[in-house]
């Protein structure tokens, strides 16, 4: 959800963003509807055992592992369904690293979004799905390299 916020911030307030990294959100920024309701329902379920949706189970387990406020996350998921138009994405002026795991069915591919954003750069994180991608060493190395080049 932070990447969606970052995209709107960079687009609407270009004077406040010198460079941006969007981890875990690719083309579904413009061609998606946000996270499905089943994930919010999974976060609110009384127990993990009651969650049958695979994506919901993944989000629920992650929230439990990180001791996150599951009700607050569910509310954020329900509120993060705003799409950005292709024109809005194309108006993002700062350099943007778009990093997505190659097995991430939630985010969409990074390359199509990088092609829309004028200074967009795609980073594919091999063999990672949505949750572990931003903790991966490929993401960390890519982010550090990007920041070294753009956030001086």
Q: Tell me the pTM.
A: 0.79
Could you report the per-residue pLDDT of 93-111, keeping only the tens digit for each? 999 999 999 988 888 899 9
Query: Per-residue confidence at 71, pLDDT binned at 50, 70, 90?
Result: very high
The rounded Cα 93 to chain-centroid distance in angstroms is: 19
- The CA distances from residue 66 to 62, 69, 148, in Å, are 6, 9, 29
Length of the chain equals: 152
Determine the Cα–Cα distance for residues 35 and 77; give it in Å rounded to an integer. Answer: 6
* Exposed / middle / buried, residue 49 (Cβ in 10 Å: 0-12, 13-18, 19+): exposed
The residue ranges of every structural domain in the chain are 2-33+83-150, 37-79
- For 2-33+83-150, which CATH superfamily applies? Alpha/Beta hydrolase fold, catalytic domain (3.40.50.1820)
């Amino acid at each position: 959800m932070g990447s969606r916020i970052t995209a709107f911030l960079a687009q609407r307030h270009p004077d406040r963003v010198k460079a941006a990294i969007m981890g875990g959100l690719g083309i579904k920024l413009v061609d998606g509807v946000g996270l499905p309701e089943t994930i919010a329902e999974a976060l609110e379920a009384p127990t993990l055992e009651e969650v049958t949706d695979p994506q919901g189970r993944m989000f629920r387990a992650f929230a439990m592992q990180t001791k996150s406020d599951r009700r607050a996350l569910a509310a954020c998921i329900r509120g993060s369904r705003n799409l950005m138009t292709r024109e809005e994405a194309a108006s993002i002026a700062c350099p943007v690293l778009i990093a997505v795991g190659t097995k991430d069915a939630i985010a969409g591919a990074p390359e199509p979004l990088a092609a829309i954003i004028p200074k967009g750069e795609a980073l594919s994180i091999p063999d990672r799905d949505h949750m572990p991608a931003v903790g991966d060493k490929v993401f960390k190395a890519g982010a550090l390299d990007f920041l070294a080049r753009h956030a001086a």
